[in-house]
Structure 1
Amino acid sequence: MSERQVTTDGSWAPDVCSLPTAERPLRLEEFDQFFRDAVRGADRLAAQHLRLHLAGGVAVEETARDLTARESSCCSFFAFDISRSSPDSLTLDVRVPAAHVDVLDGLTDRAVSAAGFR
């Protein structure tokens, strides 16, 4: 994640996020753990669209659905879509409006770094 995207709590969350500031480090750690455990690949399909390739297990899907639902409730500009094309193939598409591309940049950098792609 670039320095311009790091907030004082180390997250990518912009001011429009309604998650209380005290809870942000906990959510950030949840995402980091999810990225480490589940992400197997990442494609930046467009400035506003990230696709994460995930391990295909049921527990991964349950965690992804729970985490993205909670994130959507406090950062409503995120659009998450989880899809399964086969029992072993799970993807998480993350989209943001143009005004929040920098947030997606931060999320992408964090996912790639935590998953060990760099």
Structure 2
Amino acid sequence: MPQACTLPTVERPLRVAEFDELFRTALRGQRRSSPTRLRWEVAAEAEAAVRDLTARESGCCSFFGITVTPVDGAVRVDVAVPAAYVDVLDALAARAATGCRW
């Protein structure tokens, strides 16, 4: 089965808004370790929201590999994609960079 996004088009703006809110309120840092890998540091109090949002996102977009790990009073979110989806990761990184307060 090919990897793809199955989120209905009508729901996509709502999901984008959820990520924008997370970036605006809880994102503390972002690092790109390679073209296909991205790491966010998120405020610890947002862990439940991060887990919920990333689980739903990886559930409908099978190309995302997302790991959420609590570390030192924060939450680390590692996002990986196959090379064919680097443009999606680029767009997500750009949204995070413009939407956060760091």
TM-score normalised by length of structure 2? 0.92
**1:41-71 Cα distance to aligned partner (Å, 9 max, x none):** 10001111000011122xx110001001100
Counterpart check, 1:101 vs 2:86: yes
Dislocated runs of 4+, deviation >2 Å: none
- RMSD across aligned positions (CA): 1.0
1:48 alignment counterpart: 36
2: CA distance, partners of 1:25 / 1:85: 31
CA contact (8 A) 2:28 2:101 kept: no
Matched, 1:64 2:50: yes
State, as a whole percentage, how many aligned pairs show the same letter.
49
Q: What SS does the corresponding residue of 2:67 show, helix, strand or coil?
A: strand
Deviation of 1:17 after TM superposition, in Å, equals 1.1
Q: How does 1:1-118 map to 2 (within 5 A)?
A: 16-57=4-45, 60-86=46-72, 88-117=73-102
User: How far, CA to CA, are the matches of 1:61 and 1:27 in structure 2?
Assistant: 17
Return the offset for 1:76: 0.6
User: Any stretches of 5+ residues in structure 2 without a counterpart?
Assistant: none
Residues of 1 paired with 2:74 and 2:54: CA distance?
Answer: 18
**Residues of 1 paired with 2:39 and 2:15: CA distance?**
20
TM-score scaled to structure 1, two decimals?
0.80
Q: Give the secondary-structure state (helix, strand or coil) at the position aligned to 2:70.
A: strand
1:50 & 1:103 partners in 2: Cα distance?
11
Aligned residues: 99
Quote how far apart the aligned CAs of 1:116 are. 4.0
* Structure 1 position 25, deviation (Å): 0.5
